[in-house]
Structure 1
Amino acid sequence: MSYSELAMNMPQLSKKERKAMASGTHRDWLEDSRIVVKDIYANTTVGQKLGYRYMYDYFDVLKGQLQKGGVRLAALLNEVLG
């Protein structure tokens, strides 16, 4: 799937969902990511070839993290640039 196909197939977030994603502190956002990374590393071994199964297992995580990152970056830019 190309990046443009991925973008077109992402679910649209409601205003409430965007607000929830943008809430919290930068430290909260870091902790959210740390939890995701900890889970991925716990289920991945050194030298493991990351193939279809890995993508299948973590594709929804990837999409969620991309959405959170976009929403949080937008919130940060709105805060900084007014």
Structure 2
Amino acid sequence: MLRLEEAADELLMSTAQLRKRLYRAKTSYKSIVLETRMGLARHYLESTPLSIQEIAFLLDYSQAGPFSRAFKNYYGFSPRDARLAG
């Protein structure tokens, strides 16, 4: 995932400008990254045969454990349960 500075560069604005716009929109870069990661995770779990480890790696997690905890904190159920329901 892009760092805030890289995202600002891609949007042709300063980091401060991007932070200010996100603040005005009542969100944060961290929230947007988490929302994007979790949306992709759910898509991959429900629509692909990729393993949880592979999905974790694709979403820039170093291991499946931290990914699984983040997923469960976000959705309230485990990646395994999402896969079984999908």
TM-score normalised according to structure 2 size: 0.30
Greater relative contact order (CA < 8 Å, ≥ 6 in sequence): 1
